Amino acid sequence: MKWKRSRWLELALVVVVLTLVGILVNNLAVNLIRTGLGLSFEWLWQPAGFALSEHTLPYQPGDSTAWALLVSWLNSLRVIACSIVLATVLGVGAGAARRSLNPLLRQLAGLYVGLIRQIPLLLQLLFWYFVAFLGLPSQPFAPIGTLISLSNQGVGILGLNLSVEFSAVLVGLSVFTGAAIAEVVRGGLDSVPRGQWEAFRSLGINEGLGLRRVVLPQALPAILPALSSQYLNLAKNSTLAIAVGYADLYAVSDTAITQTGRAIEGFLILLLSFLALNLLINGGMQVLNRIVVHPAQRT
Amino acid sequence: MTIAVRAESITKTFNGTQKALDQVNLSVNHGEVLVVMGPSGSGKSTLIRTFNGLEAIDAGQLEIVGIPLDTDQDERQIRRIRRRVGMVFQQFNLFPHLSILDNITLAPIRVKKVSKANAEQRAHGLLAQMGIADQAMKYPAELSGGQQQRVAIARALAMDPELMLFDEPTSALDPERVKEVLDAMRRLAADGMTMIVVTHELGFAREVADRVLFMDAGRVVELTDSTTFFTQAKEERSRRFLNQMAH
Ligand SMILES: Nc1ncnc2c1ncn2[C@@H]1O[C@H](COP(=O)(O)OP(=O)(O)OP(=O)(O)O)[C@@H](O)[C@H]1O
Ligand SMILES: [Mg+2]
């Protein structure tokens, strides 16, 4: 059997990485023994002792730390999933708008993408939390019918009550990632030959329909891989939720680590949780890829 | 006779300097076949692309199938024209992710609101007319160039256009595939379709065209009936071009 050079390179890389990891683990073990700490996960089953500002499953401070971590992981999952949906809507809209025939739409979308990408995400999250949401009046008001009610106590959408913290993280992550997705979508649209646009236009098909039925389906093979890396970025960036006091996995792990002093174990759990999250996103994207990308276009 | 195309001193400039169309006057009657010839870069594509709004003119007046097409293009107005004017491209531009049938029925169903059943029946009829009745369920990549171009013609015809524009429809084809496309176009002309065809196919022009428009550097050099053009072209520039083409 003949192996390609890239295969050998891959193997060499794996060996190097494994060696490094081995050295690291060895160091860790030696240090743990020396300090007399030893790896232990017993603390996970002790009462957490701290409150969580929001939880989708029943939770009280007397529950175990493990339960607190699980509940906070669900908080992360919730805000990440909602942000992925909202960011995709924003991004596809803005990306398509950048190739619209309407010059005003084009400029607005260009402004959005240009502005948002200039400002660090942390700053944007702080803005949404402290300026936008906490700046709302304390009495709820409904800007568009009964659909949405806004106040500095929380946001109500179709009877659903969202905390101010959740809303700030959701909007912050979505607006930020939406701008990046807009660029991905624009690049994807540009990868479709001009002749395809001219062909649908020549048939009297309008821009919206042409985009949906002709151009986007052909742009997807170029868009999807970049899109999933934007989703992974979003998931990683969600850890900044700690800055506005949203009880996400990272924030709660941080509290637990501080209380128990179990930094190594805590980070291990964090690491595995995010690994699971990324695998989830990757798996989802692969399923999506199989559904929406036409067999003839798969590479 | 009603007029399909009326162009009065239309001008188109690219990048501020490159005059692709320079004061072009032209009028094409319904039922007429006009062949457009001229050297590369003379403005042939630009000319017919202004007729369905793919290029906007900078000056002059343009009226297509009775609808004015102003210098400041109104999207709705352009779509009204495009619904009634078919276009066939050199590179076919079929939608690769749609079956042949869907390529042809997409616009009738979504733009003209024809029922799916009627649109498909019509599509099968058009494919038969183009001599490719058995290809409906395939994808564009599975067809030869000549077959793809005939699908492109069928796709345009499915909108029941009053005017068909062809931009070098056989230039991207293998020589042995040219005839099948030209034959389909001949039949179309015989059925009375109004056609404006940019082509270097002298045989087709001689045989099918009512008139020939010869362009150079964005200007109309000669516009005359095809017999006169091929036997006794007035302009030296046209004669030189014909001479080159014959060799
Ligand atoms: N989109 C464009 N941007 C800039 N210049 C253009 C554009 N399209 C055409 N031109 C220029 O306008 C002139 C006319 O081009 P056009 O494509 O109409 O010529 P043509 O007669 O169709 O040539 P060919 O036989 O090579 O297809 C050329 O000089 C060309 O370079
Ligand atoms: Mg051309």
The DSSP code sequence of A18-30 is HHHHHHHHHHHHH
Count of all residues that appear for chain A in the document = 299
- The answer to whether the CB atoms of B93 and A196 lie below 8 A apart is yes
Please give the pLDDT value at position A1.
45
Q: What is the pLDDT of residues B191-243, one digit of tens each?
A: 999 999 999 999 999 999 999 999 999 999 999 999 999 988 888 888 998 88
- pTM value is 0.85
- CA of A193: which chain B residue's CA is closest? B93
Low-confidence stretches of chain A (pLDDT beneath 50): 1, 299
Q: How far is CA A20 from the centre of its chain?
A: 30
Q: What percent of chain A has pLDDT over 70?
A: 96
Please give the pLDDT value at position A299.
43
- Structural domain spans, chain A: 70-241+289-297
Q: At what angle do helices A216-237 and A164-190 cross, to 10 degrees?
A: 150
Given a cut of 90, is residue B34 above it in pLDDT? yes
C-alpha A220 to ligand 2 mean position (Å): 30
| Burial label, B93 (beta-carbon count in 10 A; 0-12, 13-18, 19+) | buried
- The answer to whether the CB atoms of B95 and A214 lie below 8 A apart is yes
pLDDT band, residue B61 (cuts 50/70/90): very high
Fold of A70-241+289-297: MetI-like fold (1.10.3720)
Domain with B38 in it: what CATH number?
Answer: 3.40.50.300
**Chain A residues lying within 8 Å of B141, measured CB to CB:** 296
Q: What φ, ψ does residue B194 adopt, rounded to 5°?
A: -80, 125
Q: Are A82 and A167 in contact (CB under 8 A)?
A: no
DSSP notation for B174-229: -HHHHHHHHHHHHHHHHTT-EEEEE---HHHHHHH-SEEEEEETTEEEEEEEHHHH
Nearest-5° Cα angle at A95, A90 to A97: 95
Please give the pLDDT value at position A8.
83
Determine whether the shortest distance from the Cβ of B91 to ligand 1 is under 6 A: no
Q: Are B27 and B9 in contact (CB under 8 A)?
A: no
How many structural domains is chain B composed of?
1
Q: Which domain holds residue B193?
A: 3-246
Q: What is the pLDDT of residues A117-173, one digit of tens each?
A: 999 999 999 999 999 989 888 888 888 777 888 888 888 888 788 999 999 999 999
Cβ within 8 Å of residue B18, ≥6 positions away: none
Q: How far apart are CA B222 and CA A238, in angstroms?
A: 69
Q: Are B181 and B159 in contact (CB under 8 A)?
A: no
Q: Closest to A203 (Cβ–Cβ): which among B53, B139, B159?
A: B159
- The answer to whether the CB atoms of A203 and B107 lie below 8 A apart is yes
ipTM of the complex: 0.95
Token pair for residue A7?
A: 């295969």
Q: How far apart are CA A273 and CA A280, in angstroms?
A: 11
Q: Closest to A101 (Cβ–Cβ): which among B75, B107, B110?
A: B75
